[in-house]
């Protein structure tokens, strides 16, 4: 069966500034049921809108400038994206945080302090060894199960292997841990987050694969 007769072929490419609204929407839908984001934004009625606002800031001002964010789809628009940061560039500069504090406050509201405490706890465990950091990977729910996330992972991990560079991520969903393990990631720690009722995250490291 040819691609024309079956499912559309998956394409992976670099994300651009003009893609931000579309990708922010994809991530907002992908992370709507995420345990950590549901804890940070417990109101289901406003969560989607708030997530889209937060992800738009992160895309435009934090991750896209590194030139490593990629999107995937099956014949047209983006249905999944991966936000990667290169070695030494994972930490958000204070100046960037300060400049976007007001838009983040609009997105997170009174939950901003809880989000910052959780982020601080996660950052404190971030490895010092140089690595590629997968900050976010999300697939639009209607497109899940078609290999888009895997295509995005392979796109960067193959380059990690070629360069001999490790990769690191923090999984906020327990169901995703075995998925990442299939790509060579291993759990280094289950990290409890500060705050009443806060879920844990799983810190995962991947050594480069030879040949």
Q: Give pLDDT, residue 6.
A: 41
168 strand-pairing partners: 133, 205
Name the DSSP class of 11.
E
- Say what the pTM is: 0.91
111 is written with which tokens?
Answer: 């939950």
pLDDT of residue 97: 60
Condensed to tens digits (0 to 9), the pLDDT of residues 48-101 reads 999 999 999 999 989 999 999 999 999 878 999 999 999 998 887 655 564 656
Token pair listed for 13: 């490419």
Q: Which two tokens stand for residue 101?
A: 């504090």
pLDDT tier at 160, thresholds 50, 70, 90: very high
Q: Is the pLDDT of residue 211 over 80?
A: no
Instruction: Using pLDDT thresholds of 50, 70 and 90, give the confidence band for residue 190.
Output: very high
């Amino acid at each position: 069966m040819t691609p024309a007769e079956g499912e559309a072929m998956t394409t992976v490419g670099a994300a651009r500034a003009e893609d931000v609204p579309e990708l922010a929407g994809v991530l907002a839908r992908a992370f709507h049921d995420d345990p950590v984001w549901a804890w940070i934004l417990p109101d289901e009625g406003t969560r989607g809108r708030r997530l889209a606002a937060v992800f738009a800031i992160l895309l435009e001002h934090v991750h896209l400038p590194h030139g490593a964010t990629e999107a995937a789809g099956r014949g047209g628009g983006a249905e999944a994206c991966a936000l990667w940061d290169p070695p030494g560039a994972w930490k958000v500069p204070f100046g960037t945080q300060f400049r976007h504090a007001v838009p983040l406050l609009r997105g997170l509201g009174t939950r901003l302090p809880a989000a910052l405490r959780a982020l601080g706890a996660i950052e404190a465990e971030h490895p010092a060894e140089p690595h590629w950091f997968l900050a976010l990977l999300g697939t639009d729910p209607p497109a899940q199960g078609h290999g888009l996330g895997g295509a995005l992972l392979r796109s960067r991990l193959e380059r990690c292997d070629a360069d001999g560079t490790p990769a690191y991520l923090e999984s906020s969903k327990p169901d995703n841990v075995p998925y990442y393990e299939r790509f060579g990631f291993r759990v280094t720690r289950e990290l409890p987050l500060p705050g009443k009722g806060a879920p844990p995250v799983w810190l995962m490291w991947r050594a480069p694969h030879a040949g």
